[in-house]
Amino acid sequence: MSDLKVLDLYSGLGGLSLGVAIALRPKEIIGLEINKNAVDTYNLNLSRYNAKAFRQDVLQWQPEGHYDLIIGGSPCEPFSIANPRRKGEKHPLFPTLKRFYDIVLELESQAFIHENVKGLLSPRHRNIYEEQVRRLKDYYNIVYGVLNSADYGVPQKRFRLFTIGIHRSLGKKPSLPTPTHSEKPVVTIFGTMPTWLTLREAIQDIMNIPPTTILRQEQVERIKRERENTKGIHWGKMEFPDNLDRPARTISSHTLEGTKRETIVVPVTEHVMTPTAGWVGHSDWGSRILSLDKPSYTITHAHRGGQLIETLYRRLTVREALRIQSFPDWWNFPQDVSITAKFKLIGEAVPPILSYKIARHIAITMGWEWHPPKQEDFQLPYFERAFPELLAVTQR
């Protein structure tokens, strides 16, 4: 255990905290989060790592204490391209971005990590984001960029903006971690970079969990007829094929009020669909088809119900969503957290494997002690595939 103290703002259920805890083994991690379900889930799982979350509105919190590292992902709703309604300054959560950087300035931690959606770099929001970066540049050396989780051993294509800062007084310059995986094998001076992890690798051993709802046979037949008789099937506003042999698309948490939410279906031996998929002119977010032969796409938090295997159609289970986000199999939720709330928390989280690799990278830059990953921490079937670059070093 190190003497480091970490503050996690807008901690959610603890994806960032978990990766940091495993990599750095800090003396203490304090999480601040307004969502009760998130706080309860955080404390249920992370107490083993000297981490504790408190229910607190970060906008109202008066900064106090000393922290070596401040981490956090401020709410993304004001800047997300998935949010069709209020955005930017019109959104009630808009002040949360500035508040994160206010607290960093006030507490002057040695380093910080901030995560948000890549929409912050869009023409509409870029000035808002860069204004916050400029405020800190007199005090921190800063680097930022969009990272794809699939490039770091997470079985999901998830693009998020990460900002890393190191206090100027330390004389160190931050950088973004080098990818450890690639879509196709890439030869480097260190050898061949492993390929992205796949949806199959993430959930193959748990795909046969019985579904919570099953379509009637006449519904199945109707879907088949529609697919056979239609040249161009309208799958909502965009096509979203998913493929068990490719990384899953981003698991996000947004809810489209007044409409169905985006879903995903897990195929086993052939194309399968959600109950409403296949209807010409259908344009809600409840229909997504997956294919074994196409890239995998976005997964959101409403993955309830559905069916399984060929004529049995279903959506992802909570455990499958956790696997795709790289949460270990020992991760659980309090009994009073609803299915909808679970998916929302999962979708909002930073994948722990990615946060581990970012934390390790910062530790090397800072000269902090870091710890290699262990199977008991990342209790996942694809553990060795996710960390080949580190396991090779520790086994020498």
**Taking a C-beta distance cutoff of 8 angstroms, is the pair 305, 315 a contact?**
yes
| Residue of 12, 375, 332, 349 whose CA lies nearest to 149 | 349
Measured CA angle at 379 (ends 186, 10), to 5 deg: 90
Q: Is residue 31 within 8 Å of residue 56, measured between CB atoms?
A: no
pLDDT for the residue 10: 96
Q: What sign results for the dihedral spanned by CA atoms 172, 173, 176, 179?
A: negative
The three-state secondary structure class of 116 is strand
Residue 119 CA, distance from chain mean position: 15
Structure tokens that stand for 176 in this block? 């973004």
Q: pLDDT value at position 298?
A: 46
Candidates 310, 305, 277; CA nearest to 214 is 305
Could you give the CA distance from residue 298 to residue 191 in angstroms, rounded to a whole number? 31
pLDDT computed for residue 187 by the predictor:
83
State the pLDDT at residue 190: 74
Which residues of the chain fall short of a pLDDT of 50?
231-241, 255-287, 289-298, 300-312, 395-396
In angstroms, the CA 348 to CA 93 distance is 14
Domains of the chain (ranges; CATH) run 5-181+350-394 (3.40.50.150)
Backbone torsions φ then ψ of 128, nearest 5 degrees? -65, -45
CB of 131 within 8 A of CB of 172? no
* DSSP class of 368: -
Amino acid 265: pLDDT: 44
pLDDT digits (tens, 9 = 90+) for 248-290: 666 665 533 333 334 444 443 322 333 333 333 333 334 454 4
Q: For residues 98 and 153, give the distance between their C-alpha atoms in angstroms, rounded to a whole number.
A: 31
Contacts of 146 (CB under 8 A, 6+ apart): 118, 121, 159, 160, 161, 162
The reported pLDDT for the residue numbered 208 is 72
